[in-house]
Amino acid sequence: MSLPAVESEQPSASQLKRTFPVVNPATLEKIADVPVVEPDEVKIAVAKARDAFESWRGLPFQERAKILLALRNRVLDQEDAIIDTIVAETGKTRSEALSAEILYVCAAIDYYTKNAEEFLRDRVHRISLVLLKTKRVRTSHLPRGVVGIIAPWNFPLLMTLGESIPALMAGNAVVVKPSEYTPLSALLGQRLAEQSGLPKNLFQVVPGFGETGEALIDYADQIAFTGSVATGKKVMARAANTLKPVTLELGGKDPMIVLRDANLERAANGAVWGALSNSGQICMSVERVYVEEPVAEAFIARVVEKVKDLRQGIDTHFDVDVGSMTMSRQLAVVEDHVADAIAKGARILVGGKRNPDLPGLFFEPTVLVDVDHSMKIMTEETFGPVIPIMRAKDAPEAMRLANDSRYGLNSSIWTRDKDKARSLARRMESGGVCINDCLVNYLATEVPFGGVKESGIGFRHGEGGIQKYCFVQTVLEDRLGLRREINWYPYSRKFSKLLSRALKVLYHSRWTRKFRP
Ligand code: NAD
């Protein structure tokens, strides 16, 4: 297994430099010491990024695309080394590193290199106001400068390099603050980007803790934050000091509704995969299940049977289903939620504790029943390998329970009645809804993904997912070059009377009804 060497970019005070350890959560072995980038160094990094931005913004889209496509080839050529790094610092399975992280980076490069030019194309507008008929008006999407990306630990390549692709294609420089638990994948991404011809300092990674993130908020021109609700609120407050544009992609408590006419085999397989992949550490994991009473028994039995068959462990050959969790603090949250549920009457059907046969942060895939909304497991983000299943009297009750949450990221409805599912989806208070499916909507880079309520502000993907890394500039040009316009000085009674009449003809419904279609 080859892990990337980690070097400091600021050699002058290297002996004094603070470092932090990166630990493999599956083995509990230390795998690297990474230098902290302090707030004053973030300021320097952003300044260097801004210099790099000046020439990058001037490149035609095709030139930017050429370099990002070279990066994609390099990612594919270095697949094994990337998977080794991701797995070593997260404890996830090799299959998940490949099928979520590497796949996503390739898909994002593919989509935005093909479409950026069209999405950011200048547009000339027809202005309806008569006074402005002699003007030419054009809008442009222009890069903001240095985009600061603050990332969580659950997808350390996807959330750093992957998230940077639209910002870079739009002509920005990017400075990434990775999670202090998983900085190695982002640092490897930086190295691959440089080797692929990305200009020096255009894509930088600044490892560190909260203060490093705060400094990035202060100095970058825009912030794309992905992480917890609690930190998201701090990020927004900090960004308010400089009125920095900020998008927040936050946590979820995603409901799954299984109706009585669902394909139970598919629903059970979906629940198990949707709740347990990445050890449940996905913002859009299935976090709670509501199943209609008549099929509850059969559905629960299938879920339990499938969970019992899962292989948990340290993955070396793509033959493990559930890896370790990534950080001990999150494992403690899972233990707390399970203990709280048990104390309030829930029952464990499988799992329910740390895996005693494995050395690292492994929590056994768990199924809980007899749960309700007095329990943390049904109301707060658990972010672990637990499937709590609650019985609902009927579909309306399941919908009411699904919407009884401060979160609103993703959700799923399982039924053979597609019309019913589509109609329920319109009442679901979440940014995404899957029908007879789960999780995969994240990989649909063509369509927006984002949360409502406390799950976030803004979205990624699609046309808006690159336009958000731009500001819109409107340029109005006079076409006739007259000595003066009729509404300029000096004001006159005559012109005002004329305008007053014209306004009535143009906008009063007595006239508009007569003359307008
Ligand atoms: P976190 O909020 O603890 O940390 C996220 C990042 O913010 C880290 O890099 C951290 O160092 C940094 N940070 C901490 N304090 C800061 C501050 N004061 N100012 C600026 N930056 C600061 O989140 P986490 O534990 O790393 O990630 C898990 C969370 O991320 C979960 O809630 C999950 O649902 C969410 N998430 C959401 C999405 C999405 O698309 N909505 C995707 C992945 C993860």
Do 328 and 321 touch, CB atoms closer than 8 A? no
Q: What is the pLDDT of residue 12?
A: 54
Q: What is the pLDDT of residue 510?
A: 85
Q: What is the pLDDT of residue 8?
A: 44
Q: Is the pLDDT of residue 4 over 70?
A: no
Query: What span, in angstroms and rounded, lies between the C-alpha atoms of 332 and 179?
Result: 18
Do 201 and 48 touch, CB atoms closer than 8 A? yes
Query: What span, in angstroms and rounded, lies between the C-alpha atoms of 423 and 428?
Result: 9
- Mean pLDDT, the chain, rounded, equals 96
Name the residue with tokens 């008569």: 130
Helix (H) or strand (E) holding 468: none
Q: Which among 38, 283, 287, 454 is annotated as catalytic?
A: 283
Q: What is the pLDDT of residue 517?
A: 62
- Ligand 1 centroid to Cα of residue 314, in Å, is 25
Structure tokens at 444: 């649909």
Helices and strands, counts by H and E, the chain: 18, 18
Going by alpha carbons, the residue nearest to atom 42 of ligand 1 is 283
pLDDT tens digits, 453-512? 999 999 999 999 999 999 999 999 999 999 999 999 999 999 999 999 999 998 998 887
Structure tokens at 28: 């509990």
Q: Which atom of ligand 1 is nearest to the CA of 231?
A: 2
CATH of domain 23-250+462-471: 3.40.605.10
209-241: buried (b, 16+ CB within 10 Å) or exposed (e) per residue?
eeebbbbbbbbbbbbbbbbebebbebbbebbee
At 216, the amino acid letter reads: L
Nearest partner of 251 among 387, 402, 381, judged by Cα: 381
Site to substitute for ligand 1 among 37, 38, 154, most atoms within 8 A of C-beta: 154
- Ligand 1 centroid to Cα of residue 231, in Å, is 6
Structure tokens at 406: 């401060």
Q: Is the pLDDT of residue 265 over 80?
A: yes
pLDDT tens digits, 69-86? 999 999 999 999 999 999
351-364: buried (b, 16+ CB within 10 Å) or exposed (e) per residue?
bbebbeebebbbbb
Site to substitute for ligand 1 among 36, 101, 150, most atoms within 8 A of C-beta: 150
Q: Is the pLDDT of residue 380 over 80?
A: yes
Going by alpha carbons, the residue nearest to atom 28 of ligand 1 is 227
DSSP 3-state of 63: helix
Q: pLDDT class for 21, splitting at 50, 70, 90? A: very high
Query: What span, in angstroms and rounded, lies between the C-alpha atoms of 487 and 317?
Result: 75
Query: What span, in angstroms and rounded, lies between the C-alpha atoms of 91 and 327?
Result: 9
Q: Which atom of ligand 1 is nearest to the CA of 209?
A: 11
Specify whether 283 is catalytic.
yes
Going by alpha carbons, the residue nearest to atom 43 of ligand 1 is 283
- Ligand 1 centroid to Cα of residue 249, in Å, is 9
At 106, the amino acid letter reads: C
Going by alpha carbons, the residue nearest to atom 35 of ligand 1 is 227
Residues in the chain: 517
Specify whether 438 is catalytic.
no
Name the residue with tokens 């403690």: 332
Site to substitute for ligand 1 among 212, 228, 452, most atoms within 8 A of C-beta: 228
pLDDT tens digits, 307-334? 999 999 999 999 999 999 999 999 999 9
Fold of 254-445: Aldehyde Dehydrogenase; Chain A, domain 2 (3.40.309)
- Ligand 1 centroid to Cα of residue 57, in Å, is 29
Q: What is the pTM of this model?
A: 0.95
Query: What span, in angstroms and rounded, lies between the C-alpha atoms of 374 and 127?
Result: 56
pLDDT tens digits, 145-183? 999 999 999 999 999 999 999 999 999 999 999 999 999
Q: Which atom of ligand 1 is nearest to the CA of 181?
A: 26
Q: What is the pLDDT of residue 367?
A: 99
Do 271 and 368 touch, CB atoms closer than 8 A? no
**Can you spell out the DSSP letters for 108-171?**
HHHHHHHHHHHHT--EEE----GGGTTEEEEEEEEE-SEEEEE--SSSTTIIIIIHHHHHHHTT
Going by alpha carbons, the residue nearest to atom 12 of ligand 1 is 210
DSSP 3-state of 301: helix
Q: Rounded mean pLDDT of 47-64?
A: 98
Residue 288 neighbours by CB under 8 Å, 6+ apart: 253, 254, 255, 256, 371, 377, 378, 388, 390
Q: How many CB atoms lie within 10 A of CB 298?
A: 13
DSSP 3-state of 239: helix
Site to substitute for ligand 1 among 163, 218, 283, most atoms within 8 A of C-beta: 283
- Ligand 1 centroid to Cα of residue 24, in Å, is 19
Where does ligand 1 bind, in terms of residues with CB under 6 Å? 150-154, 177, 179-180, 209-210, 213-214, 217, 226-228, 231, 234-235, 249-252, 283, 381, 383, 409, 451, 456
pLDDT tens digits, 203-254? 999 999 999 999 999 999 999 999 999 999 999 999 999 999 999 999 999 9
Q: What is the pLDDT of residue 516?
A: 65
